[in-house]
Structure 1
Amino acid sequence: MSKANQPAKPWQLLRKLVTIRPAPGRNRQAIVLITPMAVSLVTMGLIVSPTHAAMGMMGAMGALAGVNNAPLSRARILLGVGIATVFSQCLGLLSVRIEWFLPLILAGWSLVVVWVWHALQLGPPGPLNILFAAAFGAYMASHGWTVSTVFIATVPSFLIAAAVSMIIILICPHRPVRAAVEKAESAVNAYCEPNDDADSHEVARLRSAAHAAIHRAWWAYNDGHSSGADNPSEMSELSDLRARLITAHMRLEHQLRLEAFPSTDLSLPDHVDWTPLGRPKTSYLLRTALERGSRPTMVALRAAIGVFFASLLMILLPFGHPYWAVLSVLIMMHMDATHSDMTIRAIHRVLGTVVGLGLYLAIAAFGPSGWIQVGLILIFLWCMQALVTRNYGLACIFITCFALFMTPITKPGEMYQLAQDRIVETIVGLAVGIITIYVVGRRAPVLLVRSQYRRTLRSMMPVLRSLSRGEHMTPQAQVERNQMVHELIRGSALLSATRPDAPQALQDWSKVDRTVTETGYDLLSVCWHTNDEPVPWARRVLADIAIFITGLPPISSQNLDAHSVANDVEKIRMDMVTSLPGVR
């Protein structure tokens, strides 16, 4: 077993627990991230009151969504997150009217939100704030909040923060695209000019990384700007970025042809209009996420089950409130991560909560006024953002203080009971979470990998069909190629993400990944180097893949002989490669 496939040892987990990762520039980035929330908090404090403004911070935190997206893309994400956050908080407020329905409502809402977020691949910071709004709303119902309170506190806080965040990104609107293009150029250079000691496996990794970077760059470009935004007379910087991306893309495809078919004499046609579309259609992402063995479904089910049992247990126990336990579960499981990473996150959460409660009690004992609370919240926000990428346990200290200062400070006698409840609720939530991640989907890694590689092979079939008909230069063929590249990238990423959870079961699937990936990229190279005429052998290869997929057993958590799967796919690949003119 290779070192990459070995289970994490206790000392490795301990090292993860205490490691403070370097994050150059994070302090300055944290200032940019909290600025919209700070403006919202101060503005609402001036308009209404500091206490009222603090309780509306749930809305302002929605402005963190889409921070790495270009303007149009971020505007769409902010709109969706804002509506979802308000609805979520109202749902939490209304759900407490029938207490025993609360676990079902929170679990169902978590299932939907987590699934949609991961199906559409919306990225960081994840759906936590939306889901936290529901749990927070359920808690604030006991403090007299109503739906009208949400529209007085949460909605304006979000609108102010969202407006400020859009102003900030419009100051430098092309920054996300420029960063994506620079990463793509760097990845392509690494693939085209590898180190002398790079072996075939390393070259394959660099090739996948280059395609992934190009795909994400086109995603950032096409997803964040209007169709007319690349007019040279209107936006020269964006046009320059597009030209750089096309150059990097052409270089990648040329290198791919040299690697895949070195003995052929094929020139690269002028396929500038064949550039990938980036983000696949929403309908495609949702449809594939509904398939058996999809990663979004697995993550969403795990989170929903954890939320259900955490909230149910808090109702049954004679202390505390469900909302803090639900938050503890979601902090672990709202994003996709390995079992060891989620376990480390749970330990960080407990330790950070204990220290954070101590800090909160020390500060609250002095009875700070409203505006001092506002200043403290801003400090906590900055510390959260500055530390969250360095060490989550340290960040949890300030997350706890921030969350507690969002509600009015209670009397000294009640504060100690609050601290006790919070510790117990945290432990209950994290205990439920840890049990859930190790029980639910225990055999899921094999299921997920089998499903993804079948989906990747299936994505090659429309591409081969277009080749066989000579229709591979049509807009529909472009969409099909884009979906194939998307699945190729997802396949390798999924195997890397799931292998730590089942190293023995998945140790042989690296060969399947290499063979399927090479088949897909070879097919992509054929498309880029073939004129608009039917390709006779494409129909035969299409039939071979169809027969192979049909012959596979139904998707389940039962493992397959990975070597046999890889050998069968390799035969199909060699049939395709040797069918090209000039290949021996």
Structure 2
Amino acid sequence: MSPTDKPSSLRQLLRKLITIRPDPGRNKQAVILTIPMAVSLVTMGLLTDPTHAAMGMMGAMSALAGNSNAPLSRARILLGVGMATIFAQCLGLLSMRVEWLMPFLLAAWTLVVIWTWHALQLGPPGPLNILFAGAFGAYMASQGWTIGTILTSTGPSFLIAAGVSMIISFISPHRPVRLAVEKAETAVNRYCEPDEEVEAHEVARLRSAAHAAIHQAWWAYHDGHATRVDSPSEKSELSDLRARLVTAHMRLEHQLRLEAFPSADLSLPDHLEWTPLGRPKTSYLLRTALERGSRPTMLGLRAATGVFFSALLMILLPFGHPYWAILSVLILMHMDATRSDMTIRAIHRVLGTIVGLGLYLAVAAFRPSGWVQLGLIIVFLWTMQALITRNYGLSCIFITCFALLMTPLTHPGEMYQLAQDRIIETVVGLAVGIITIHVVGRRAPVLLVRSQYRRTLRSTMPVLRSLEEGHTSSPQAQVERNQMVHELIRGSALLSATRPDAPQALQDWSRVDRTVTETGYDLLSVCWHTIDEPVPWARRILADIAIFITGLPPISSQNLDAHTVADQVERIRRDMVTSLPGVE
């Protein structure tokens, strides 16, 4: 690093810390997200008492899961998240019977949950509430909680909030699909109508973005549509959205053909039934996540390591409780992010916690009644949701406040001890977290990228086999093409996500990404223009890819010559495209 780079990096860090990003419509979205939790709190307060209602907040917050999904998909996610949250609290509660087992149990739970969440690509808001429920359950064991308490507080709170959130979802059931289709149309327009002076690498980026948007739109459509079959006579918003998506998809494939085979005399048949299937099968997602060098495994191991050492350290230290330190670690690592972003998040967390503790002490000094306390929790929840996408540090102020207000106190003076413990626990948790993110997986970027591009190339092989056999319109061939597109999209996304953590090691892999994605999309275009006709040259291309993959060294964190890899893949691609009639 040159002397001029360090001040620049510092300025960039400071800018990220103080920047408040614009997010139009976030205040309204925060209201929508807060209503289910508010209804749950008030209802539980009326049925039991305000203190009991506040202690069930873990259940109410879990109802945020799947908030960007269509109702059918969200219902499935909520069912799984609700059961996992209650199980996690029971696990944390039982782990305190033998305190030394707690770090092992919570670390194992963290590994399983984060791996599963990222393997199935469930998306935001992430599994934080499920994970924190285990740590919170361990803490509440010291407050006299039993499994019965969980079943009468967390369980009902979740059911009420989940029910309200589903009602809100049904008010505009097709909104997630509509937003996905609009995004796909915009991305396709940008690819098909680029600026006149756009460079080749930018065209490649726009092409990948268009395919990703189309793929995600079909994913959203099928996730929210039970039958996956539209009645021809059905006139509904969903059928209109499907028609718009088909039009955008056909336009994308036309443009792909013109770009890949400009000299070929190929027409695009009517392949309305060839649209991607959306989300790949669960078995496929889990199987690929188990492979060496998978992103879910790295994320799960890193988070589990942080949870283990933060819990163990808090047991060894003569102060505080493990659960807040565990929360600090999980906030950093429950979602996929670069090391620099997680470091900034840690600084935000410390500063926000300090200010939040001051606000909490000011509020607690007035000794608000139970109902006033519930009202403040609701206000803090809305403020947190309104700020979290704009500036995480500011949102941490209110995260701290409502989290402390839901913690029961046995006497007024305990709040000062609680505030002191929170500062210490936050610092310990974040220190462990930062060390973990800079040690665990430091050499992983190359491993992840090598594994992903091998997987992407491997996904082309079944497609070539179906092409060779003339089965391009069979249901199995559609599944294989969908998996290939999924891996093409995931490859580009992975490189973008990992490059900031290893810029020098991965600087040449952009060429590999362009070549591999061009090969995949050219193959996709061939399939769209071939109707169940055997393609003899597909066997040769299939053999070339198989030989190439077999000749690669075993997957490891050892880097490869990216230019050599790109050159070999490019030769295979050129052989494929020149094998078509009319292509020179």
Taking structure 1 as the reference length, the TM-score comes to: 0.98
Deviation at 1:233, TM superposition (A): 4.6
Secondary structure at the residue paired with 1:35?
Answer: helix
User: What CA distance in whole angstroms lies between the structure 2 residues aligned with 1:374 and 1:197?
Assistant: 58
| Partner in structure 1 of residue 180 of structure 2 | 180
Which residues in structure 2 correspond to 1:341-490 (within 5 Å)? 341-490=341-490
| Partner in structure 2 of residue 338 of structure 1 | 338
Q: Deviations over 1:95-150 (max 9, x none)?
A: 00000000000000000000000000000000000001000000001011000000
C-alpha contact (below 8 Å) 1:20/1:391 kept by paired residues? yes
Amino acid at match of 1:159: L
C-alpha contact (below 8 Å) 1:6/1:503 kept by paired residues? no
| Partner in structure 2 of residue 537 of structure 1 | 537
Q: Deviations over 1:321-341 (max 9, x none)?
A: 000000000000000000000
Secondary structure at the residue paired with 1:366?
Answer: coil
Q: Deviations over 1:214-248 (max 9, x none)?
A: 00000000111111673355551110000000000
User: What CA distance in whole angstroms lies between the structure 2 residues aligned with 1:367 and 1:216?
Assistant: 49
C-alpha contact (below 8 Å) 2:57/2:157 kept by paired residues? yes
| Partner in structure 2 of residue 196 of structure 1 | 196
| Partner in structure 2 of residue 97 of structure 1 | 97
Amino acid at match of 1:476: Q
Which residues in structure 2 correspond to 1:61-460 (within 5 Å)? 61-227=61-227, 230-231=230-231, 233-234=233-234, 236-460=236-460
User: What CA distance in whole angstroms lies between the structure 2 residues aligned with 1:19 and 1:400?
Assistant: 20
Amino acid at match of 1:425: E
| Partner in structure 2 of residue 40 of structure 1 | 40
Q: Deviations over 1:341-376 (max 9, x none)?
A: 000000000001111111101110111000000100
Deviation at 1:410, TM superposition (A): 4.7
User: What CA distance in whole angstroms lies between the structure 2 residues aligned with 1:7 and 1:246?
Assistant: 50
User: What CA distance in whole angstroms lies between the structure 2 residues aligned with 1:431 and 1:6?
Assistant: 22
Amino acid at match of 1:571: R
Amino acid at match of 1:91: L
C-alpha contact (below 8 Å) 1:71/1:225 kept by paired residues? no
Task: From the superposition, tell whether residues 228 and 222 of structure 1 become closer, same or farther in structure 2 (CA, over 3 Å).
Answer: closer
User: What CA distance in whole angstroms lies between the structure 2 residues aligned with 1:450 and 1:11?
Assistant: 33
User: What CA distance in whole angstroms lies between the structure 2 residues aligned with 1:237 and 1:421?
Assistant: 53
Amino acid at match of 1:430: L
Deviation at 1:412, TM superposition (A): 3.5
Task: From the superposition, tell whether residues 157 and 510 of structure 1 become closer, same or farther in structure 2 (CA, over 3 Å).
Answer: same
Cα RMSD (Å) of the superposition? Answer: 1.3
Secondary structure at the residue paired with 2:252?
Answer: helix
Which residues in structure 2 correspond to 1:527-566 (within 5 Å)? 527-566=527-566
Deviation at 1:409, TM superposition (A): 3.8
Taking structure 2 as the reference length, the TM-score comes to: 0.98
Deviation at 1:408, TM superposition (A): 2.0
| Partner in structure 1 of residue 16 of structure 2 | 16
Amino acid at match of 2:449: V
Task: From the superposition, tell whether residues 235 and 360 of structure 1 become closer, same or farther in structure 2 (CA, over 3 Å).
Answer: farther
User: What CA distance in whole angstroms lies between the structure 1 residues aligned with 2:77 and 2:118?
Assistant: 13
C-alpha contact (below 8 Å) 1:37/1:161 kept by paired residues? yes
User: What CA distance in whole angstroms lies between the structure 1 residues aligned with 2:236 and 2:367?
Assistant: 55
C-alpha contact (below 8 Å) 2:70/2:174 kept by paired residues? yes
Which residues in structure 2 correspond to 1:1-12 (within 5 Å)? 9-12=9-12
Secondary structure at the residue paired with 1:560?
Answer: coil
User: What CA distance in whole angstroms lies between the structure 2 residues aligned with 1:347 and 1:388?
Assistant: 15
User: What CA distance in whole angstroms lies between the structure 2 residues aligned with 1:355 and 1:335?
Assistant: 25
Secondary structure at the residue paired with 2:63?
Answer: helix
User: What CA distance in whole angstroms lies between the structure 2 residues aligned with 1:253 and 1:58?
Assistant: 46
User: What CA distance in whole angstroms lies between the structure 1 residues aligned with 2:71 and 2:350?
Assistant: 37
User: What CA distance in whole angstroms lies between the structure 1 residues aligned with 2:7 and 2:80?
Assistant: 39
Q: Deviations over 1:53-78 (max 9, x none)?
A: 01001001111000110110000000
User: What CA distance in whole angstroms lies between the structure 1 residues aligned with 2:342 and 2:398?
Assistant: 19
Deviation at 1:36, TM superposition (A): 0.5
User: What CA distance in whole angstroms lies between the structure 2 residues aligned with 1:579 and 1:354?
Assistant: 66
C-alpha contact (below 8 Å) 1:364/1:409 kept by paired residues? no
| Partner in structure 1 of residue 28 of structure 2 | 28
The unaligned stretches of length 5 or more in structure 2 are none
Q: Deviations over 1:427-450 (max 9, x none)?
A: 000000000000001100000000
C-alpha contact (below 8 Å) 2:222/2:228 kept by paired residues? no
Secondary structure at the residue paired with 1:9?
Answer: helix
C-alpha contact (below 8 Å) 2:45/2:52 kept by paired residues? yes
Secondary structure at the residue paired with 1:143?
Answer: coil
Amino acid at match of 1:438: H
Amino acid at match of 1:424: I
Deviation at 1:197, TM superposition (A): 1.6
Deviation at 1:411, TM superposition (A): 2.9
Task: From the superposition, tell whether residues 229 and 63 of structure 1 become closer, same or farther in structure 2 (CA, over 3 Å).
Answer: farther
After TM superposition, the structure 1 stretch with the greater mean CA deviation from structure 2, 417-426 or 480-489, is 417-426
Aligned length: 581
Secondary structure at the residue paired with 2:413?
Answer: helix
Q: Deviations over 1:433-471 (max 9, x none)?
A: 000000001100000000000000000000000000001
| Partner in structure 2 of residue 499 of structure 1 | 499
User: What CA distance in whole angstroms lies between the structure 2 residues aligned with 1:71 and 1:441?
Assistant: 37
Secondary structure at the residue paired with 2:196?
Answer: coil
Deviation at 1:8, TM superposition (A): 7.9
| Percent identity between the two aligned chains | 82
User: What CA distance in whole angstroms lies between the structure 2 residues aligned with 1:410 and 1:512?
Assistant: 61
The unaligned stretches of length 5 or more in structure 1 are none
Q: Deviations over 1:167-203 (max 9, x none)?
A: 0010111110000000000000000000112111111
Secondary structure at the residue paired with 1:219?
Answer: helix
Secondary structure at the residue paired with 1:98?
Answer: helix
User: What CA distance in whole angstroms lies between the structure 2 residues aligned with 1:7 and 1:337?
Assistant: 23
Q: Deviations over 1:245-302 (max 9, x none)?
A: 0000000000000000000000001110000001000000000000000000000000
User: What CA distance in whole angstroms lies between the structure 2 residues aligned with 1:269 and 1:321?
Assistant: 65
User: What CA distance in whole angstroms lies between the structure 2 residues aligned with 1:362 and 1:132?
Assistant: 26
Task: From the superposition, tell whether residues 197 and 434 of structure 1 become closer, same or farther in structure 2 (CA, over 3 Å).
Answer: same
Amino acid at match of 2:93: L
User: What CA distance in whole angstroms lies between the structure 1 residues aligned with 2:411 and 2:147?
Assistant: 26
User: What CA distance in whole angstroms lies between the structure 1 residues aligned with 2:156 and 2:230?
Assistant: 34
